[in-house]
């Protein structure tokens, strides 16, 4: 297999070096720096990245675009800010069926991932992502390392699996490419706050209290930004969050340690690590997070700290950690369960810790003049099978809502925005939220299509 690694920095060099341990791989490390290319080919070193390490004799380097033409797999280990421009300049040399593997971490405006940007702007669908708990220096030491492969086809999986054979690299995998990409950014934010906590308190109890809360916030953000919750339990999630948050080789944790010790200068422009952390915090905080932003106290604290440009990040644990268990209540018929239903239930579940759904009974639907395809019993079974839903209660009449709120100790009453203002009287007892419905889909529309 002909493999090209774009970017001869620390991680690109380490991955290229490890892949070259597989004798079936022909690996070329691509760099525009001719001096670096010559050094690697002549001395088998890359001293600017690894002063005391020797690379494998089979690893070659190149700056010649002609070598791009032979690549079956291209791994991208470049700063996210230059990826699109860099790859656009090389695209004319790509094989038709080349597989692009994104190793780089970052999100663009509006939450667009690097993989999505490559697919859209280069018009290449054959793109996967490979992320996980991996320090470059450890990879250079041939330490066994688990990475998460985000892929979409079996062929992509088989290719990646074949090129890591006989190396110290291992993979777990998911088709949730977006989730893998998003987690690679989120973990840096929370590594920063863990660094602050360790510097200020040096307490295992406090450290793991904040780590637990960080994990909870990452879960909320992951779901809100379109990732699958299960992805959090792969190497790119739990593994990378812990590695980056708890190990002093982590740049973002180190920044947190400096902030915690009061050495933070507030000079963003001259410090690339500070700028990276600041950009990640500001970018994620700027996303449309609907009503969940108040459930992200750690993110909010960092955002406020960078905005104030003070030297010390103060931590008030009562405000950051302690919070009331919140129960959400919504109602509906949920006949012919579809994506629009799933979307509003997903968003409703993100607003609290428990979601109760009031489901219209068959008798109540009759009174409303509604005809359901599925019986109450079947609709209830479908809702109860969803991870988002914790409890289903029968809705038998219009008047019961106030009673349900009191009996179930409801904190948030939620309905679609087509009911805007109709339930404002409930605000005396709980928070009332009207969420926009998913455009382009409805049960009525589905029934009409099925009828036709």
Active site positions, annotated: 368, 370
Upper half-sphere CA count for residue 226 (Cβ side, 13 Å): 12
DSSP state of 113: B
Sign of the C-alpha dihedral computed for residues 153, 156, 160 and 162 taken in this order: positive
**DSSP symbols for 417-434:** GGGTTTTGGGGGTSEEEE
The C-alpha atoms of residue 9 and residue 151 are separated, in whole angstroms, by 25
Looking up tokens 């920044």 gives 255
Looking up tokens 């688990």 gives 146
Backbone φ, ψ for residue 138 (5° rounding): -70, -40
Residue 188's contacts (CB-CB under 8 Å, 6 or more residues apart) are 105, 244, 252, 276, 277, 280
Residue 172's contacts (CB-CB under 8 Å, 6 or more residues apart) are 146, 147, 148, 149, 234, 235
The C-alpha atoms of residue 374 and residue 362 are separated, in whole angstroms, by 9
How far is residue 230 from each of residues 173, 222, 233, 436, measured CA to CA in Å?
A: 11, 10, 6, 26
Label residues 10-30 b or e (16+ Cβ within 10 Å = b).
bbbbbbbbbbbbbeebbbbbb
The C-alpha atoms of residue 215 and residue 399 are separated, in whole angstroms, by 40
């Amino acid at each position: 297999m002909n493999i090209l690694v774009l970017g001869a920095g620390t991680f690109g060099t380490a991955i290229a070096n490890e892949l070259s341990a597989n004798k079936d791989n022909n690996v070329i490390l691509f760099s525009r720096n001719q001096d670096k290319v010559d050094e690697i080919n002549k001395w088998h070193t890359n001293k600017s990245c690894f002063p005391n390490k020797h690379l494998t004799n089979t690893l070659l380097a190149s700056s010649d675009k002609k070598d791009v033409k032979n690549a079956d797999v291209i791994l991208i280990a470049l700063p996210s800010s230059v990826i699109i421009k860099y790859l656009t300049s090389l695209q004319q040399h790509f094989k038709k069926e080349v597989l692009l593997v994104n190793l780089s971490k970052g999100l663009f405006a509006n939450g667009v991932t690097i993989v999505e940007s490559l697919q859209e702007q280069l018009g290449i669908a054959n793109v996967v992502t490979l992320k996980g708990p991996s320090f470059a220096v450890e990879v250079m030491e041939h330490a066994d390392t688990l990475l998460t492969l985000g892929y979409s086809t079996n062929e992509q999986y088989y290719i990646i699996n074949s090129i890591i054979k006989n190396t110290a690299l291992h993979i777990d995998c998911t088709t949730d490419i977006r989730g893998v990409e998003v987690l690679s950014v989120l973990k840096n934010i929370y590594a920063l706050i863990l660094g602050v906590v360790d510097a200020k308190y040096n307490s295992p109890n406090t450290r793991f209290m904040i780590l637990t809360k960080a994990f909870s916030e990452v879960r909320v953000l992951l779901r809100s930004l379109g990732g699958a919750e299960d992805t959090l339990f792969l190497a790119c999630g739990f593994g990378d969050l812990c590695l980056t948050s708890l190990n002093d080789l982590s740049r973002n944790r180190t920044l947190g340690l400096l902030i915690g010790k009061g050495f933070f200068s507030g000079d963003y422009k001259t410090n690339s690590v500070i700028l990276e952390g600041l950009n990640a915090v500001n970018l994620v905080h700027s996303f449309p997070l609907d009503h969940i932003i108040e459930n992200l106290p750690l993110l909010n604290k960092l955002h406020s700290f960078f905005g104030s440009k003070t030297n010390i990040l103060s931590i008030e644990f009562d405000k950051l950690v302690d919070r009331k268990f919140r129960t959400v209540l919504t109602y509906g018929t949920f006949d012919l369960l579809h994506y629009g239903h799933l979307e509003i239930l997903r968003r409703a579940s993100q607003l609290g810790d428990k979601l109760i759904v009031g489901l219209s009974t068959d008798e109540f639907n009759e009174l409303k003049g509604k005809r359901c395809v599925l019986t109450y019993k079947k609709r209830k079974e479908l809702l109860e099978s969803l991870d988002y839903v914790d409890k289903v209660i029968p809705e038998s009449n219009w008047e019961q809502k106030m009673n349900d709120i009191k009996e179930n100790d409801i904190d948030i009453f939620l309905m679609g925005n087509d009911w805007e203002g109709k339930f404002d009287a409930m605000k005396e007892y709980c928070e009332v939220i009207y969420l926009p419905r998913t455009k382009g889909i409805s049960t009525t529309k589905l029934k009409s299509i099925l009828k036709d």
